[in-house]
């Protein structure tokens, strides 16, 4: 069974999802934090989680040899990065390791997607 970088990159989303359940700030995971931040920040956190789950589902479908358009990968990754930047710009809390695990997962997904695009994998 051969894997390409497009598929491997989706494991970055798994790492990001794990980060949501770790302390992100104030010794709270991302879901607990949603209750204590403004509504717009809470919505961004939930949308970021949903995008990560969708990215992971795409990875599972790619493992099952389903043919999915590459544009879906790019939309999810760009969405995650934009929301991540928005959340970082609105952040007034001291981040903990869960936030860094999420960021690392999204960066792994982006790098693998870029390598896949350079190598012209489908």
User: Per residue of the chain (122 residues), what is the pLDDT tens digit?
Assistant: 456 888 888 899 999 999 999 999 889 999 998 888 888 888 999 999 999 999 999 988 988 888 888 899 999 999 999 998 888 887 777 889 999 999 999 999 999 999 988 887 65
Q: 97-118 and 5-20 helices cross at what angle (nearest 10)?
A: 170
30, 20 contact by CB (below 8 A): yes
d(CA 67, CA 121): 12
DSSP label of 94 = P
Q: Give pLDDT, residue 1.
A: 44
Give 98: exposed, middle or buried? Use CB within 10 Å, 0-12, 13-18, 19+: buried
Scanning the structure block, which residue is given the tokens 């879906």?
Answer: 72
Reference 106, options 79, 77, 85, 82; nearest CA is 77
CB burial class (10 A; 0-12, 13-18, 19+) of residue 6? buried
Q: Output the pTM of the full model.
A: 0.87
What's residue 37's pLDDT? 84
């Amino acid at each position: 069974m051969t894997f390409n970088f497009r598929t491997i990159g989706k494991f970055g989303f798994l790492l990001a999802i794990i980060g949501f359940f770790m302390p992100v700030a104030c010794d709270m995971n991302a879901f607990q934090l949603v209750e204590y931040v403004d509504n717009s920040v809470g919505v961004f956190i939930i949308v970021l989680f949903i995008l990560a789950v969708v990215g992971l589902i795409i990875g599972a479908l790619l493992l099952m040899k389903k043919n999915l358009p590459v544009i879906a990968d790019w939309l999810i990754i760009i969405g995650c990065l934009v929301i991540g930047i928005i959340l970082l710009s609105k952040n007034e809390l001291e981040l903990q390791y869960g936030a860094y695990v999420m960021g690392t997962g999204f960066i792994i997904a982006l790098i693998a997607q870029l390598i896949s695009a350079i190598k012209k994998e489908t």
